[in-house]
Amino acid sequence: MRLKHSELASSAVKQAQYPAELLPQIALFGRSNAGKSSLINTLIERKNLARTSSAPGKTRLLNFYRVEALTDDGQPLRWYFVDLPGYGYAKVAKSERDHWLRIIEEYLRWDTPKLCWQLVDIRHQPSTQDIAMYDILRDNGFEVVLIANKADKLSKNQRQKALSIIAKTMGAPKDSLVVFSAITREGKEQLQVLAAAYLQQQAAGGI
Ligand code: GTP
Ligand code: MG
């Protein structure tokens, strides 16, 4: 895939603020600090278009990044990366969590094609919230790609054990997990291939 252009198309809390141009979306789910915004920057090859922070809770709105690229054989691809606010940040108040839930539910109800990429930190057993998020997405009929992120933090030996724990906890096949690192860019190409396949399938379906 060859990137042509990326820009922030819209920052939204509610549907009226979503971008008017309808395009397929790849939406990033995961705990606060899991690395959603960093992954988007890596994939669109921009240093800090999606704002990142070591302080959890950086992304408070739904941000739509409009991306244009070409496949290796020259087919145009257009889509939004949707950077969603993270869940599971212990220090936020209940009102804030309710606000988060409203934003996510409204987004999921928006009847447009979405591929869900859910990030978990490869070093940790997924939380009950990770499992709940995964189940909500799948129960609502979304295709979910699970991404084990921050792979640079583990040795190759530790990795296999960590992937087994994640697969077992989430109830997903181990070989379906994508291993990723925004630092080493491991997994970038695999995700580009998955993105291109999804977007071409959507294009063939007529959106
Ligand atoms: P919220 O916006 O709070 O939901 O967080 P987020 O999921 O968007 O995380 P963000 O991309 O802001 O990254 C959080 C922190 O993790 C930052 O300090 C990043 O530099 C760091 N980080 C992200 N990806 C990686 C990675 O692959 N490896 C390592 N070592 N650190 C990473
Ligand atoms: Mg973020």
Distance in angstroms between the alpha carbons of the first and the last residue of the chain: 20
Angle of CA points 129, 83, 115, to nearest 5°? 75
The tokens describing 133, both together, are 């998020």
Burial 29-56 (b: 16+ CB within 10 A, else e): bbbbbbbbbbbbbbbbeeeebbebeeeb
Nearest CA to ligand 1 atom 14: 33
Distance of CA 31 to the CA centre of its chain: 11
- What is the value of pTM for the model shown? 0.94
Q: How far apart, in whole angstroms, are the C-alpha atoms of residue 188 and residue 179?
A: 9
Return the SS3 of 85.
coil
The tokens describing 83, both together, are 């950077």
Please state, in angstroms and as integers, the Cα–Cα distance from residue 49 to each residue in 37, 38, 45, 66, following that order: 9, 9, 9, 11
Q: In tens digits, what is the pLDDT along the chain, a chain of 207 residues?
A: 999 999 999 999 899 999 999 999 999 999 999 999 999 999 999 888 888 777 766 667 899 999 999 998 999 999 999 999 888 866 667 777 788 888 999 999 999 999 999 999 999 999 999 999 999 999 999 999 999 999 999 999 999 999 999 999 999 999 999 999 999 999 999 999 999 999 999 988 855
Burial 115-125 (b: 16+ CB within 10 A, else e): bbbbbbbbeee
Provide the pLDDT for residue 190: 97
Contacting residues for 107 by C-beta, under 8 A, at least 6 apart: 27, 62, 82, 84
- Tokens 């920052």, residue located: 11
Which ligand is nearest the CA of 150, by number? 1
Which ligand is nearest the CA of 87, by number? 1
Residues with Cβ within 6 A of ligand 1?
30, 32-38, 52-54, 56-59, 85-86, 149-150, 152-153, 181-183
Provide the pLDDT for residue 93: 73
Q: How many A from CA of 53 to the centre of ligand 1?
A: 7
Provide the pLDDT for residue 56: 65
Q: How many A from CA of 128 to the centre of ligand 2?
A: 20
Which ligand is nearest the CA of 56, by number? 1
* Percentages of the chain per state (helix, strand, coil), in multiples of 5: 40, 25, 35
- Name 2's bridge partners: 70
Q: How far apart, in whole angstroms, are the C-alpha atoms of residue 138 and residue 108?
A: 11
